[in-house]
Amino acid sequence: MPKFDDIAVGAELPALTVPVTVALVAGGGIATRDYFPGHHDLEAARELGSPHIFMNILTTNGLVQRFIDDWSGPEGRMRDLKIKLGAPNYPGDAMTISGAVTDKRESDRTVEVTLKGANSMGNHVTGTVRVSLP
């Protein structure tokens, strides 16, 4: 797991590829109490003009947190997370999350990671996460 003193601006994090499945999309909606039909009902999603059910932002947020946690380990602490959605995540696709350290602050021993999660249509999510490291 990374230590603050060993991290340099520009360091790339290992990519995380997540298969987007019906179970992930619908389960994420249910787990986050987001019962909007577009997240679990194919016909309702199609009535909205969508070809399939689509992932909600809370599931995306959880996947971004997993990406950071996998890298920072149990001693890392997320301090700030800012994300923005782009292209939808539909079942049958995959999202690959990648990122790099873009800022390092001695004053509070944190780094900022700038990330993106891309699928076959483009960037599903972009953002930054500030992480305290030991």
What does the block give as tokens for 74? 């149990």
| Residues in Cβ contact with 112 at an 8 Å cutoff, skipping those fewer than 6 apart | 101, 102, 103, 104, 105, 128, 129, 130, 131
Within 13 Å and on the Cβ side, how many CA atoms surround 54?
Answer: 17
pLDDT in tens, 33-70: 999 999 999 999 999 999 999 999 999 999 999 999 99
pLDDT in tens, 88-114: 999 999 999 999 999 999 999 999 999
> What's this model's pTM, rounded to 2 decimal places?
0.95
